[in-house]
Structure 1
Amino acid sequence: MDASLLKPPSRRRWDSAVPPTLRPLVRAYLLGYGFAVAPRLATLLLQHLARYRRNKQATTARDTQRGEPFLDALQRILLGGLDWRRFPTFCAVLVGGTTLLEPPLTAAFDHYAKNIPDIARRRLSRWFASFIAAWLSLRLVQSKKTPGFTDVTPGPESGSGSQSNGAPQTVHYAGRTLDLTSFAVTRALDIIVGELWHRRKLRRQAAGKWTPLDSTLGTFAHPAVFALSSGLVMWTWFYDPARLPRSYNKWIGSAAAVDARLITALQRCRDGTLLYGADTGAAPLLTSMCADYAWPLEWGDPAVSVPFPCEMVHMGCGPSCERHALARFARSFRWALSTYLPLSLLLVARKRNLPAVRRALLSAARSSAFLGAFITLFYYGVCLARTRVGPRLLGTSHASRQRIDGGYCVGAGCVLCGWSVLLESAPRRKDMALFVAPRAMAALLPRRYGLDKQWRETLAFAASMGVVLTCVRENPGRLGGLLGGVMGVVFRD
């Protein structure tokens, strides 16, 4: 008997009815729709359930986060994802344009660039196809005008007076797609640098010149990127939070669990509105905190207490900086575990075997330890600069204390906190570095800028996505992580 007859019939793919050339486009659109809609649906359901628990009689279908009926909110979210200038269409144009433009561009290169090696021609045709598709897809998203990037200014003033008698003018700004561009640029840089480093490694190994220092540099590259990026993000969150997305600010604030008056006090130390040894009217800020925590009121008066005691930074954990660090780690670990553990167990719920559960528990504990150490190192860095190291290096004068609390203490925390990523596994370090790096890059750039400069962002995005999508087709293992897995699903045959 033919052995093939004994094999179970292969499962038919859900997209088998779609023409092969259009399958990447369809998959990209559906995945983009899921990424765009699923988080908003989850938020809507969680908020609706929370309100239902608080007040069963008041929480009906009329109560949602925006005061609209639940079904109307559901319909708005589901239909909003179908807008042709939203993320799903962006994904479809990006991926579909790449695959559809590649054959004619390949034929053109084969005809007009015969002197170029075959591999180079193939890569160039793929890069140009991805470049064009990326340019068009980003321009599609940028064409949508939103209130956050639109200002209405008064009309021109009349010649005889200061009042405006012209029609109001609407001014549109660019920058709405900056997060996408930052993501693409950091991914492209990682691919280019990683490929160059890999080739250097092969050459030096072949010549017998690969040294332990080279191995160390390769091992610590992504942790260093994460430490630098996360430190920049934390500095921005502390001193210029408007440069970060609102959701990112909210999450960091929840994880930090710090009294906002402490942040304001250190900000005022930096801008000079709180001066040690002088009465600038800043005393009520911290004296109100002293009253809430039953501390002596003079602790909060910068004219008397130079500097304000580090115990205030500890927020009720006592005067010991080390005890406060341990307490912070324990509290942050529990907070993180309450989030990571359910997610990890949910991911292995279908496997139902002990090794998978054990790995899920270990992964959740490891990630929770990382986040706990991140928060702990930030706070302990602040304490080191304020009480342990800073006064020994800079002195204890009023001016020295002003410099320490005016930025050095926060800077020390920013430098230390990111190295907690070493508690994670090597693959996770890379994923986390490439997650935070775009946020750090965006923090260095203006959130809004003139439309006349938007072509620069579009060019950077298109060139970077050309590198990323060419890598997906040529060497998918180089991308790795969640993005590599998603791209593999999208482009599979």
Structure 2
Amino acid sequence: MAAATSPRPRWDSAIAPILRPLVRAYLFGYASAAGPRLLTLVLQHAARRRRDSKQTTTARDTPPAEPFLPALQRILLGPLGAQSFPAFCAALVGGTTFLELPLRSFFDRHAGNISAVARRRLSRWLASFIAAWLSLRLLQSKQTPSFTDVTAESGPDGVPQTIHYAGRTLDLTLLAVTRALDVIGGELWHRRKLRREAAGTWTRLDRAAARLADPALFALSSGLIMWTWIYLPSRLPRAYNKWISSAAAVDARLIAALQRCRDRTLLYGHDTNQAPLLGAMCADYGWPREWGDPARSVPFPCEMVHMGSGPSCEYHALARFAQSFRWALASYLPLSLLLAARSTTTSTTSRHARIRALRRAVLSAARSSAFLGAFITLFYYGVCLARTRVGPHVLGKDAAARQKIDGGYCVAAGCALCGWSILLENAGRRKDIALFVAPRALATLFPRRYGLEKQWRETLAFAASVAVVLTCFKENRGRVRGVMGGVLGFVFRE
């Protein structure tokens, strides 16, 4: 009889148990800060090598990029500072871990009139609150050029004044707030479900509401983001704005025309010197130049929105889906195949298991690509529905009605429709995608920079939210859903 093999010791088994969460949190923060930049550096370096090998004029005229090794050193050493994201993660988790026991001892001695469960929860909440407050203040103490201005006016000493702004940690705060609201809402809904099931009043409508909660959250969030991308692009992070523009593949002159319709710079039936904007687009696509003149064309034809796909809105929708599906598949498929290959590299993996993993990877990439393709298609077709198919029959066909449609109604229709493409994704991924997009949608409602005197409000919201999430996780780990639950499970595992 073969001897039983002893389990392999974990990588952190030599670390004291009380220090393990802190070390895991630091490593997670370092990987989050350095990993994406390292991948970007490798991809850029590989693309530059391919470009240089072709010896094109464009390549020779391109300004020299930062050498690979110095860039690698900067990326690897950058997150090691005391005010960095890894240090923030370690301070948050370590502070929560170290403060909980003394706080529980304090409440056991001085709050014996409340239950042991309440004392435990209170000590966990307060420990998390204090650690979150101090760790975020550590992250906020770092000054960056994008949140610093030098005024033209000199101070009393004759030196130009430097003004520092808050807001650098706003995305992190909104992520925490979103997760806290999800935890609270999920707990309240669970208790309601138990009461109604016990009373026999749990209905099909309740079950449908539970299934549609995540899709509805995504639809609302993505609609708000798309509205902001059209009309208030400065409220989106630059990288996020660039990615949406790449996925949408739209002529910037169309976006400018919609913006000017909304602020009434471009008026249908009036000559406000806006004809050159879309007139240049007509010249590029070979359309009659009068199509782009708002004084003569009320409104500009929907064929211009189709950008070369012909006059049919339905054909344009199909063409958009095919184009967007291919664009998304080029990104999703290599990543899915890489993950599948990683999970089947062991020698014990059978040939059939490898084939099944490959099939799942291809289907997953195709499904995600169909979701993104449908998102873009529904947005454009929503615009067409409001401009051509439905809007004129409801609001009218005169210049004033057309101004209202192109001044916001058509974009609102696209925003309302696009997010429901999430129903093409499997139910397990819907919650992760919805909770990923929701804080970014909330960020569009706030300025990217604000005065330092108001920063305490953000810190308070972050600390209270993190305290809710961590306390709930330690009481009921299944309540923190999705990727966040997995991260906390890795950090706080026994």
SS at match of 1:308: coil
How far apart, in 1, do the equivalents of 2:300 and 2:284 lie? 16
Compute the displacement of 1:34 (Å): 0.6
1:231–1:415 Cα contact (<8 Å) kept: yes
Stretches of structure 1 that go unaligned for 5 or more consecutive residues are 159-164
* Superposed CA offset, 1:396-421 (max 9, x none): 11111111001110010000000111
How far apart, in 2, do the equivalents of 1:195 and 1:313 lie? 45
Match of 2:32 among 35, 46, 50: 35
Say whether residues 1:360 and 2:361 are aligned partners: yes
Say whether residues 1:429 and 2:430 are aligned partners: yes
Match of 2:227 among 225, 235, 238: 235
In structure 2, do the counterparts of structure 1 residues 65 and 100 end up closer, same or farther at CA, with 3 Å as the change threshold?
farther
2:332–2:369 Cα contact (<8 Å) kept: yes
1:174–1:454 Cα contact (<8 Å) kept: yes
* 2:45 counterpart residue number: 48
How far apart, in 1, do the equivalents of 2:153 and 2:5 lie? 74
1:48–1:64 Cα contact (<8 Å) kept: no
* Superposed CA offset, 1:104-161 (max 9, x none): 1111111111122222211111111111111011000000001111111123599xxx
Match of 1:224 among 197, 216, 228: 216
* 2:81 counterpart residue number: 83
Compute the displacement of 1:317 (Å): 0.5
Residue pairs, 1:339-350, within 5 angstroms: 339-349=331-341, 350=343
Compute the displacement of 1:446 (Å): 1.1
How far apart, in 2, do the equivalents of 1:6 and 1:118 lie? 46
Residue pairs, 1:85-234, within 5 angstroms: 85-155=83-153, 166-234=158-226
How far apart, in 2, do the equivalents of 1:386 and 1:303 lie? 18
Residue pairs, 1:271-290, within 5 angstroms: 271-290=263-282
2:155–2:161 Cα contact (<8 Å) kept: no
How far apart, in 2, do the equivalents of 1:76 and 1:64 lie? 22
For residue 191 of structure 1, what is the amino acid of its counterpart? V
How far apart, in 1, do the equivalents of 2:420 and 2:64 lie? 40
* Superposed CA offset, 1:245-292 (max 9, x none): 111001100100000010001111111111111111111111111111
* Superposed CA offset, 1:322-374 (max 9, x none): 00001111111111111111111111113252222222222111111110110
Q: Which range moves more in the overlay, 72-81 or 177-186?
A: 72-81
* 2:481 counterpart residue number: 480
How far apart, in 2, do the equivalents of 1:363 and 1:157 lie? 60
SS at match of 1:154: strand
* 1:162 counterpart residue number: none
Q: Which range moves more in the overlay, 363-372 or 310-319?
A: 363-372
* Superposed CA offset, 1:13-70 (max 9, x none): 11111111000000110111011001111111111111111113989xxx99983322
How far apart, in 1, do the equivalents of 2:451 and 2:120 lie? 37
* 1:308 counterpart residue number: 300
1:131–1:462 Cα contact (<8 Å) kept: yes
* 1:251 counterpart residue number: 243
For residue 130 of structure 2, what is the amino acid of its counterpart? I
Say whether residues 1:460 and 2:481 are aligned partners: no
Q: Give the TM-score normalised by the residue count of structure 1.
A: 0.95
Match of 1:18 among 6, 12, 15: 15
* 2:70 counterpart residue number: 72
How far apart, in 1, do the equivalents of 2:280 and 2:440 lie? 35
* 2:419 counterpart residue number: 418
How far apart, in 1, do the equivalents of 2:299 and 2:207 lie? 44
* 1:292 counterpart residue number: 284
Moved segments of 4+, more than 6 Å:
63-66
Stretches of structure 2 that go unaligned for 5 or more consecutive residues are 345-352
Q: Which range moves more in the overlay, 125-134 or 474-483?
A: 474-483
Compute the displacement of 1:474 (Å): 1.5
* 1:447 counterpart residue number: 448
How far apart, in 2, do the equivalents of 1:270 and 1:66 lie? 42
SS at match of 1:155: strand
How far apart, in 1, do the equivalents of 2:264 and 2:382 lie? 22
Q: Give the TM-score normalised by the residue count of structure 2.
A: 0.94
In structure 2, do the counterparts of structure 1 residues 484 and 415 end up closer, same or farther at CA, with 3 Å as the change threshold?
same
